[in-house]
Amino acid sequence: MRTLALIAHDGRKQEMVAFAREYAARLRTFSLVGTATTAATVASATGLTVEQVLSGPYGGDVQIAARVVAGEVAVVIFLVDPLNAHPHDPDIQAVLRVCNVHNIPLATNLATATLLLTSNEL
């Protein structure tokens, strides 16, 4: 089963929950992993099983990036809050960079996430 990573900044977590509810059936076709708060929030709200790594500020973004590099993650949905600075911005950039380097589909907003999940390519 392919793995899909879920990450959302605090200002985007409720959007991630709404998205996960809407696409729960499709998300069940993946093994899910997410940063701690995002994973717990989505799992609690939807009943989906989401493996938790550390929270973003504690290195969860880096853990997901490492899994991308290792070929263990097929898709990343990272709902970014572009209007607020984050102390772990270098880690965020690492996820974006490794997805680009390893040609892994990456959605940073709901429109792109929807396109990815409704695509016949995944």
DSSP assignment of 87-107 equals: TTHHHHHHHHHHHHHTT--EE
Which domain CATH number covers 43? Answer: 3.40.50.1380
For residue 61, indicate whether it is catalytic: yes
pLDDT (0 to 100) of residue 90? 59
pLDDT of residue 89: 60
User: Of 49, 101, 103, whose CA–CA distance to 74 is shortest?
Assistant: 103
- Whole-structure pTM value: 0.93
How many domains in the chain? Answer: 1
Provide the pLDDT for residue 87.
58
Cα Rg for the chain, rounded, in angstroms?
13
Q: Name the catalytic one among 61, 81, 89, 91.
A: 61
Low-confidence ranges of the chain (pLDDT < 50): none
Helix H or strand E segment including 117: helix 110-118
Expressed as residue numbers, the domain containing 8 is 3-118
